[in-house]
């Protein structure tokens, strides 16, 4: 059994967790999230918090136990505090801006790139930084990863899109003879 799943998950005041037919619904001050459950994982809400347990002792249920405990914990944290990712852009001529629900990027390609911003996310673009905010950790992280994947940072000049806390190991270029 997972160590994360052994302890009950604390539910702060102002957050409502409802389990119906295995589906998890969490409602808090910043919004509400729902997630489909699994038939071999059982989630119960009690006075001391939410408790995740398995219905059987199969290998699959033991593997999913800690995963679903983390999902519930992330959902509760998302509706109370929210999540954010900050991206930085470096390079001559590289720029981005937000127009409504579309992120426009100029990354040195022959054409500009337009990305639709998923529902529930707020994206703010400055000259060199992009901030992605939302209540769903998976959606925030996936959108930030999709933006970063368009122009990964390269190790010689450091050009590209990177996370604000990411460190790029620089390589030495060719030596002049």
Spatial CA neighbour of 71 closest among 46, 47, 40, 50: 50
Q: To the nearest 5 percent, what fractions of the chain are helix, strand and coil?
A: 25, 35, 40
Q: Which overall architecture, per CATH, does domain 83-163 show?
A: Alpha-Beta Complex (3.90)
Q: Tens of pLDDT along 79-92? A: 999 999 999 999 89
Superfamily of domain 3-80 in CATH is Ribosomal protein L6 (3.90.930.12)
Spatial CA neighbour of 119 closest among 89, 140, 90: 140
Q: Tens of pLDDT along 33-86? A: 999 988 888 888 988 888 888 888 888 888 888 889 999 999 999 999 999 999
pTM: 0.89
Spatial CA neighbour of 72 closest among 114, 115, 42: 42
- List the domain boundaries for the chain: 3-80, 83-163
């Amino acid at each position: 059994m997972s160590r994360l799943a052994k302890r009950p998950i604390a539910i702060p005041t102002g957050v409502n967790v409802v389990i119906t037919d295995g589906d998890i619904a969490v409602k808090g001050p910043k919004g509400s999230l729902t997630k489909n459950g699994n038939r071999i994982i059982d989630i119960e809400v009690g006075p001391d918090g939410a408790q995740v347990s398995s219905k059987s002792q199969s290998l699959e249920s033991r593997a999913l136990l800690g995963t679903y405990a983390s999902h519930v914990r992330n959902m509760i944290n998302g509706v109370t505090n929210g999540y954010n990712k900050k991206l930085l852009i470096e390079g001559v001529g590289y720029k981005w801006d937000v127009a409504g629900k579309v992120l426009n990027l100029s990354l040195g390609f022959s054409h500009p790139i337009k990305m639709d911003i998923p529902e529930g996310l707020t994206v703010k673009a400055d000259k060199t930084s992009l901030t992605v905010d939302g209540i769903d950790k998976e959606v925030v992280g996936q959108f930030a990863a999709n933006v970063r994947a368009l122009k990964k940072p390269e190790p010689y000049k450091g050009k590209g899109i990177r996370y604000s806390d990411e460190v790029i190991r620089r390589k030495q270029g060719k030596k002049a003879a």
